[in-house]
Amino acid sequence: MYPLLKPYLFSLDPEQAHERTMAVLRWASRTPGVKRLLANVYCVREKSLETELWGIRFPNPVGLAAGFDKNAEVYHVLAALGFGFVEVGTITPLAQPGNERPRLFRLIEDEAVINRMGFNNLGAQVAGENLRSYQQAGVPIGINIGKNKLTPNEQAANDYQACLDTLYPYGHFFVVNISSPNTPNLRDLQQTDRLRLLLRQVKAKAEQLEQAGARRKPILVKVAPDMSDEQMRDVVQVALEERVNGIVATNTTLSREGLKDAAAARQAGGLSGRPLAARSTAWIREIRQELRGRLPIIGVGGIFDGDDAYAKIRAGANLVQVYTGMIYRGPGIARAINKRLLQLLARDGFSSVAQAVGIDAE
């Protein structure tokens, strides 16, 4: 049905379209039988697609990236659309409205989106209440956490720790977001000394919660695609030294190189979608080579089909995520990607996704 609905949704302001989509998903979450019906249509269940990381089983490698379900309201329904995992957030300790509207822009010619949302969310307390039944989603749930806009970088660790305090009982893994371009100075936290201190404090809080009886949860860090090679090597080294459990590569970009929609390109914010695909895949390959397989990578950026996803897997991504691709391709994107991945794995003689990870980075 999406080809019929897409013209209507694209006639709306992008954020209004998202809000109406969320309203439909909330209805689906409350209506008996809908999730089962969706799962029967969209879920692809094949042993070769399964991946295990950190002792967590992912039924397939295609996840939904943070930014869609900001307050962890509809992750159960999103799981029924065939995603192998769902990342909610970004969640901050306190509720905040985000930046002024308009703050979300489609670049239809480029199959891209520019956003400057600014971590708009209802805060960790509300998200925690929504996440109490996270295990019933049937797939792993990640929680993306950030700092409030008014919190200075010198106190940023307090915000990430506060999120862990509230949300640590929920979700299967956590992603420390230090790479959004839409919170002032947030990317400065990627600088080596600041990143080391932040990750050390985040890990210390996680260990404190574990000592108090909480189950251990993997901690990942999400990085920007706008780093220099030297910055990337520094980030990887810090992640290894501070015993982070994985890297999400990459967030949105500030680059506007090669865009056809010149008017929209002048909008401030992070760019996602097709124009980011090659850049993020290249970063995944470089990060994989630097890591030498010592940490898993979640690859995100410009994935629209199975070939895009497979390129990131071969570059070094253990798992992949989509978001902008779903805006343009619709709710069947995870099913379509997984079906194509099965074909590509069989073509190349692989019996599992894990066998293809990093082949092109060797």
DSSP notation for 130-180 = HTTTGGGGSS-EEEEE---TTS-GGGHHHHHHHHHHHHTTSSSEEEEE---
Is 180 a catalytic site residue? yes
Ordered DSSP codes for 26-58: HHHHHSTTHHHHHHHHH----GGG-EEETTEEE
Cα angle 293, 283, 230; round to 5: 90
Judge whether 170 and 126 are in contact, CB under 8 Å.
no
Which residues make Cβ contacts (< 8 Å) with residue 31, sequence separation at least 6? none
- The region that residue 298 occupies, defined by phi over 0 for left and psi between -120 and 50 for alpha, beta otherwise, is beta
- With a CB cutoff of 8 Å and minimum separation 6, the contacts of 37 are none
* Residue 249: its H or E element: strand 246-249
The residue annotated as part of the active site, out of 180, 228, 255, 280, is 180
The rounded distance, in Å, linking the Cα atoms of 118 and 101 is 11
> What are the tokens at 104?
């979300």
Please choose, from the candidates 129, 53, 145, 29, the residue with its C-alpha nearest in 3D space to the C-alpha of residue 92: 145
Measured distance CA(88)–CA(174) in Å, rounded: 10
Structure tokens at 247: 């890297």
Judge whether 73 and 24 are in contact, CB under 8 Å.
Answer: no
Helix (H, G, I), strand (E, B) or coil at 336: helix
- Report how far residue 247's alpha carbon sits from residue 326's, in angstroms, rounded to the nearest whole number: 22
Q: Where are the alpha helices (DSSP H) in 212-268?
A: 229-241, 262-265
Catalytic residue annotation: 180
